[in-house]
Structure 1
């Protein structure tokens, strides 16, 4: 619609109780049409959103499983959603969903514009035809009758979305040939900022989905939060196409946002050179009329070593720039969803006793997700400590600009100078450590008692002696006292868990009696936090639960998976029945099959034990079992039952579905091992709504 009317749209996924009012703030008098997204998670929310939005046209997309825990039934959730349309003049929906169709007819008869594959509706989807990377939809309307349009997608969700859009365009009076022309121009939409490692020591923030003043301000705030003040900051920005403001005015506003925050500016488009009037003359600026011109000039620009924000309207396709500058071009990616990580953190924070706090484990590169990026999020969210396994991990966080308190679980004598240099606090579990640290300087330390895990720690009966020794050596101050529970996730071992805590409390009391002050206590890990609220004490340790993985069933429903591992299809073969696939001819086919080769193998972290049809990846939301043995760099999957699968399509190894827990079960291991085994060559991409 962008060249038909002056259109405003909700930025990204601003569809919540907070997101909708923020989205509405972007409207101005020049806008002719506003596309506002609304979403709910519990009863009572839609009434408030409806009062804010007051829609004249409604589009009902679906009634899926998301947020079902907030409603007694699907019927209740549907009734709540439909409150948005009580005063709408026209409502667009798919009549093939029986529950939705029934309620629409009952509540909104006379105001409906439906489409269907099966029923007689104003817009009828007769059939679809799918080719390489595209789908042609054959529709029939009252006027002019039968016609068709093509979209550059093959998945079912995109077909459904396209039909909703088709109905709206038809309702607004666009001719079928014009609708077809516009549909053909659709491009994939990514609603999230993407943080990527760049070449030559650069960090890229890719935000090329939308380009308006509000989203630019949000992206600049993210740039500010990256820390590392010694690194130059740069901005690559395209013309702003949808502000509703005169060019000089939006240029002035952009200049006001960026002038004190960046060290160089790159503009793409015919209008941005006008911003020079408003920028400091000493700021290096570079302007290019097209993205192609910018790509040609990239080697001469000052991006190496920088924090670089790339922000542009879709038509400029600035993702070409970030793809050119990205450090790794590997067809296997691990997506880290930072908003989901914040959500999971909030789930645990809300469960804590009022006087308790969180120490968060980011050892093993934050369970494979990347330490510095996750650490920045956690520090901003106010956790009490970041916890690493070894001093080198703590040093790397300090060098990345993380100045939050860090304690180290395993610190040997050779690392004591490193601890002092970077302000790291060691866990202490042995007398030799105490003596060595006393000689090395002054430290805050974290004492560990072995109450039954029998891995590391002082014996509880040593507590009084420890307290006396530490009282006499004031250079070592005890910041916290801890133990490690052996089976907090297992109800059958609850009696032993209680016994461990009893031993810990006795040891703590004896220690404090001699020490003369009361350090922080912490005993609980992820699985224990919700199962044993009586033992929250002053702090708990959050680990794998932060990533949406629930060692105990009690926390499962409220957590969201943070990590998604995905690989692309490199090639698809037609293989006859009786032929074999892969090493050792282990994958023998019982039917004529389509076999897809994926760009992921055991060198990337996909376990060999997951082969031989023990595990299935997801392609177009359908299972594709692994055939034969997993290779070092590749694996083969059966896509015979997924006729829409094409070379270049994504295969989800784990994420929402399938879950990493399913992969771990198939491989006979645990999620911890899967995550920490992901290779460094797997490209990490950090996503933020």
Structure 2
């Protein structure tokens, strides 16, 4: 057995699997869990993991993508394909983890395990920056810290590595032991403990105790005692601990913090003496993460003079890919997270999700070898680009240019970004998706600014990972076989059009729903192929509905008759959706319409009823449960009457977001997920279990000191009776910030402090009272996020989260984060 590959027969033995092998000596290099993101399939082993969705349902897709090695727990697979190696195990996830545990045990490298609520990825990446000159480091790609992510991370270990840095994230009790057994950290780091995933535990103490299981038998643990109050740390089987604090006595006690010119000066007590350093960040999260890194290096025995020198050079880490609108109808993906093979594969998968342009371009700098030979790195890159169908390659740097023979002959190469920028007029990027993947030292930020449309300082950030997690939250509640229809009407609740639809298509929802035909047409033009239901079809749009293969919601005999007349003579079985009004009294057929509807549908071959549905008026509230049940019964009676004249059985669906949470017995054939994907569910207390998807932020334009009694804004409505300091920020009612937020009703976060509005909300700006808050022109201001939520804003002006989110103006640029 060599150090980096196993034969499929050896894997079977390690996992104690029942094997059916047609090629027992085939070598396994890649572990695969997603049929959509497969590279080097001939070297891959696909694990049919049962998570939110059953991995066995995607075996066909993996096979079509070239995979011939599978780990399964369900029978009936080998009969379908004769040319595959199959390993049968009782639990596929456990087998994946056991294989990773075995692989980890073969290497005698030092490992650092990191867990906490926030800061894990940042601390991991900064430790990589700080220690890379001393070690060959293997680390978790992106935020691969889950039950599936950790084994994929650990699998990367080779004999060339002498330090591993791995994250471990949990969301429920009894999850950490498996992660511990794979990582087996020598050194443990506990980062910030917050509210994330509280819903998976009985209380905060249980969550902390579960996280601490990662550090069993560690030689060293670095932590802040303030995060483990009430926990008996003496009972942990840890050889040594190193503590840090900004408030109390600790091994590293930071007692002074001073912000100056985009830097933070820190002074601390350590071993009965004072030490100090400066970091190139000022925000509280970055400062805390830097202090953790400071503590780690001190605990490892580094001298503070060297630590100070290295922390001064820390680079910002963008933890997520950014998708933005570019020049010349382009879409730009920024990925400056890291430059290694694993992160490149993730970025290419995101590039392939984008269907809005036929043409794709990758601009790639020299990569970090991460302990591998340079030639091996670029051979792996060439193989990856081939399997991922990455499109045109533009290489930046001397290394990638020297391996041009490995890549497509149409590729372009430049020694520097400046050379590429000089050639931009000749290259003429136009109507394409461009992935920027490069090291900061090459100047990719400057290239990004040239290729990206100018962004208004007020932006709405959409976290696509959070949206997917919310989608999976609802999918996990569905019975096997229940389909999902995702509501993307109203510009996806203000969050975007093709950007959201591409993601939903990639994650295999069954249907999309839009309000009007033009929304569906825009999605079709952007490459969306999913079935799309149009909820408000207009007669004037019938021709376009047919042309773009959209499926109208039919809610009256008049609309049905008009639509049938509009269908071309040669069209047969065009899909339509029948809406039944069972008590919402908005749109839909009622009982008295049933006879005429049945007459039209009888023996009509021009149309096909693909679904029949209704809308529940009060699914989110207990007090309306009797009414909800009445609606369901009326719907079922209507549906069964229709079946008597229909050749096929249409899809049944009645549940919206809140209905999924509260009425599991009426899931029927499909459910409709709407605002829940964006983090809000009126049926869940404080939307428990959902993640915040949107963050609206702006910046400070000017700061003024006011004397007592001076007024602010139109009609002099704002008054600082005792004087103080105001900040003018770049958001107003034209951006969707409601005028009702004026005069203190609205609040925004300025450097972590809630600051009330002063005076009236203007068209393009408003003023905040920042008296007593340290701030400067250009500072970021949060209008809403996970702390100061959309629900908080909605409550302040007595409306609902839908209105806050959908009111965000289209002139506010959307930035999509992924990874």
TM-score by length of 2: 0.80
Q: Give distance in 2, aligned partners of 1:224 and 1:161.
A: 33
Question: Alpha-carbon deviation of 1:278?
Answer: 0.9
Corresponding residue for residue 699 of structure 2: 568
Equivalent positions of 1:66-105 (< 5 A) are: 66-97=196-227, 99=229, 103-105=232-234
Within the alignment, does 1:409 sit opposite 2:535 as a pair? yes
For residue 506 of structure 1, the aligned residue among 612, 637, 654 is 637
Corresponding residue for residue 489 of structure 1: 620
Within the alignment, does 1:286 sit opposite 2:413 as a pair? yes
Equivalent positions of 1:372-411 (< 5 A) are: 372-411=498-537
Within the alignment, does 1:467 sit opposite 2:598 as a pair? yes
Q: CA 1:358/1:120 → structure 2, altered by over 3 Å: closer, same or farther? A: closer
Within the alignment, does 1:303 sit opposite 2:433 as a pair? no
Corresponding residue for residue 651 of structure 2: 520
Q: CA 1:141/1:299 → structure 2, altered by over 3 Å: closer, same or farther? A: farther
Q: Give distance in 2, aligned partners of 1:158 and 1:280.
A: 41
Q: Give distance in 1, aligned partners of 2:247 and 2:590.
A: 72
Q: CA 1:272/1:456 → structure 2, altered by over 3 Å: closer, same or farther? A: same
Question: Alpha-carbon deviation of 1:555?
Answer: 8.4
Q: Give distance in 2, aligned partners of 1:550 and 1:652.
A: 22
Question: Alpha-carbon deviation of 1:481?
Answer: 1.3
Farther off after superposition, 427-436 or 542-551 = 427-436
Corresponding residue for residue 270 of structure 2: 141
SS of corresponding position for 1:200: helix
Query: 8 Å contact 1:581–1:587 — kept in the other structure?
Result: yes
Corresponding residue for residue 47 of structure 1: 177
SS of corresponding position for 2:645: helix
Q: Following superposition, which runs of at least 4 residues in structure 1 exceed 6 angstroms of deviation?
A: none
Corresponding residue for residue 433 of structure 1: 559
Within the alignment, does 1:123 sit opposite 2:249 as a pair? no
Q: Give distance in 2, aligned partners of 1:193 and 1:115.
A: 32
Query: 8 Å contact 1:464–1:510 — kept in the other structure?
Result: no
Q: Give distance in 1, aligned partners of 2:390 and 2:376.
A: 20
Corresponding residue for residue 445 of structure 1: 576
SS of corresponding position for 2:816: strand
Q: Provide Cα deviations, 1:228-247, integer angstroms capped at 9, x if missing partner.
A: 5x622111111112422222
Q: CA 1:120/1:369 → structure 2, altered by over 3 Å: closer, same or farther? A: closer
Farther off after superposition, 329-338 or 295-304 = 295-304
Q: Give distance in 1, aligned partners of 2:249 and 2:660.
A: 55
Q: Provide Cα deviations, 1:393-420, integer angstroms capped at 9, x if missing partner.
A: 1111110000111111111222111111
Q: Give distance in 2, aligned partners of 1:592 and 1:316.
A: 48
Q: Give distance in 2, aligned partners of 1:118 and 1:496.
A: 55
Corresponding residue for residue 308 of structure 2: 180
Question: Alpha-carbon deviation of 1:314?
Answer: 3.7
Q: Give distance in 2, aligned partners of 1:501 and 1:555.
A: 27
TM-score by length of 1: 0.94
Q: Which has the higher contact order (CA 8 A, sep 6+)?
A: 1
Corresponding residue for residue 350 of structure 2: 222
Q: Give distance in 2, aligned partners of 1:622 and 1:459.
A: 53
For residue 276 of structure 1, the aligned residue among 372, 389, 404 is 404
Q: Provide Cα deviations, 1:502-524, integer angstroms capped at 9, x if missing partner.
A: 22222222222233542222222
For residue 261 of structure 2, the aligned residue among 128, 132, 138 is 132
SS of corresponding position for 1:529: helix
For residue 796 of structure 2, the aligned residue among 666, 669, 683 is 666
Question: Alpha-carbon deviation of 1:105?
Answer: 4.1
Corresponding residue for residue 166 of structure 1: 294
- State the number of aligned residues: 683
Corresponding residue for residue 6 of structure 1: 136
Corresponding residue for residue 550 of structure 2: 424
Q: Give distance in 1, aligned partners of 2:724 and 2:140.
A: 44
Query: 8 Å contact 1:332–1:565 — kept in the other structure?
Result: yes
Q: Provide Cα deviations, 1:367-422, integer angstroms capped at 9, x if missing partner.
A: 11112121122222222211111111111111000011111111122211111111
Question: Alpha-carbon deviation of 1:258?
Answer: 2.0
Query: 8 Å contact 1:92–1:167 — kept in the other structure?
Result: yes
Q: CA 1:52/1:467 → structure 2, altered by over 3 Å: closer, same or farther? A: same
For residue 258 of structure 1, the aligned residue among 372, 385, 394 is 385
Q: Give distance in 1, aligned partners of 2:414 and 2:203.
A: 56
Question: Alpha-carbon deviation of 1:296?
Answer: 4.2
Question: Alpha-carbon deviation of 1:478?
Answer: 0.9
Corresponding residue for residue 335 of structure 2: 207
Question: Alpha-carbon deviation of 1:557?
Answer: 1.0
Corresponding residue for residue 364 of structure 1: 490
Q: Provide Cα deviations, 1:328-371, integer angstroms capped at 9, x if missing partner.
A: 41111111111111111112222223343221111111111112
Corresponding residue for residue 676 of structure 2: 545
Within the alignment, does 1:338 sit opposite 2:496 as a pair? no
SS of corresponding position for 1:36: strand
Corresponding residue for residue 281 of structure 2: 153
Within the alignment, does 1:241 sit opposite 2:371 as a pair? no
Query: 8 Å contact 2:218–2:237 — kept in the other structure?
Result: no
Query: 8 Å contact 1:204–1:326 — kept in the other structure?
Result: yes
Question: Alpha-carbon deviation of 1:118?
Answer: 4.6
Unpaired runs of 5+ residues, structure 1, are: none
Within the alignment, does 1:30 sit opposite 2:196 as a pair? no
Q: Provide Cα deviations, 1:266-285, integer angstroms capped at 9, x if missing partner.
A: 2223322112121132x131
CA-based RMSD: 2.2
Farther off after superposition, 209-218 or 623-632 = 623-632
Corresponding residue for residue 92 of structure 2: none
